[in-house]
Amino acid sequence: MPLQISDRVRALAAQAQAEVRDQFDRIDAIAEENSLKVLSAFQKHRVAEGYFAGTTGYGYDDLGRDKLEEIYADIFGTEAALVRIGFVNGTHAIACALFGALQPGDVLVSAVGAPYDTLLGVIGVVDKGPAP
């Protein structure tokens, strides 16, 4: 069944595409440049099929995860990178965000009251042992 789209609507669509062509070309150029960065990093770090193997999730000798972190650091020009596919729970996710945003000795202000109990050790309100 052929689409019943009027010539006027088709003309408007063509006009809209023509008007935004420069923006799409710019986005395509950025995407191509970033793809080349990723491919170059994969080559530089000699990514092989074995790095895509499954993992137990415990992080011991996880070659794929370690290689992915090397690639992220290389692409973004950083000393190191921490890349994880998933978090254990909400506290883990919040803790990682706080560790990334705060330095030891910084003050955390909570706009909604006291943090829940599992975060108390993360932010140093209660002693949970030495920080990792």
Residues of the chain with pLDDT under 70: 55-61, 85, 127-132
| Rg (the chain; Cα; Å) | 24
**Which pLDDT score, from 0 to 100, does residue 55 have?**
67
**Which pLDDT score, from 0 to 100, does residue 71 have?**
94
Residue 100 lies in a domain: yes
Contacts 24+ apart (CB under 8 A), 39-46: 41/71, 41/74, 41/75, 42/71, 44/74, 45/70, 45/71, 45/74
**Which pLDDT score, from 0 to 100, does residue 70 have?**
93
Domain limits for position 42: 7-106
Residue 130 lies in a domain: no
Q: What tokens appear for 114 in the block?
A: 């006291």
Residue 112 lies in a domain: no
Residue 72 lies in a domain: yes
Q: For the chain, give the number of residues.
A: 132
**Which pLDDT score, from 0 to 100, does residue 87 have?**
72
Residue 111 lies in a domain: no
Domain count, the chain: 1
Residue 131 lies in a domain: no
